[in-house]
Amino acid sequence: MLITLTPGRWNEFIDCQNAAVRIAVLPIMDGKSWWNSTLQLLERAYRLQEFTCEWLKNPNDCDYQSLYTTVDEWIIVKYVMGVLGPFRYWTLWMSKRLLVTLHHGITGYNDMFDHMDGILRALAKEKTQWKKDLYFTVKFAQQKLSKFYAEVTPTTGMLVISAQILDPFRKSRSFRKWDKGMDIYLEDETSYTTQYQEAFLKYV
């Protein structure tokens, strides 16, 4: 915020970059009248850390050096960027494609759940406070996503289920993966594969 506070500081920060990059940029800031992706904000800050450090050497700004992000804090930033990356990928992939994407919906959900499961496994036994905080943050996000995903049932989500089954490359493989992960056999009443296939045959 200090860098973007006045035009004079903008120019100083741009000058710090001119000798090293072709196109100088400013940090991305959130504001009341617009929304910026947290990941974009962190990526820009991470990219500009060298120039931010250089800018703080200016006599008019050196009083703010104590506010500069520490090495340990940059490690946290990089880790959080890795956590958020796949979510942006799926969001952009689904929203910018010109073709039908409905049949990728369940696959996208599965990939996001797998990603969060991997993060939770990696952080489960960590004792560092920021890693413990991140663990509970991801756990909460997983619960939130599970709440939305629970709405994909033969009653409420038949369109998504049908699109998945009609996809010649996937068919019912995702549902079989769920059953296998929970040790459910196709003969069981709780089998997702069986429930969805029967619902699909009735639906069509």
Q: Is the model's pLDDT at 10 over the cut of 90?
A: no
- Cα-based angle 61, 67, 72 (whole degrees, multiple of 5): 135
The residue type found at 59 is P
Q: What ranges do the domains of the chain cover?
A: 7-69, 86-150, 156-204
pTM exceeding 0.75? no
Q: What is the pLDDT of residues 140-198, one digit of tens each?
A: 999 988 887 777 666 666 777 777 777 777 677 777 777 777 787 777 777 877 777 77
| pLDDT tens per residue across span 12-30 | 778 788 877 777 777 877 7
Which contacts of 115-122 are long-range, i.e. CB under 8 A and separated by 24 or more positions? 115/86, 115/87, 116/141, 116/142, 116/145, 117/142, 119/83
- Which helix (H) or strand (E) segment holds residue 106: the answer is helix 105-123
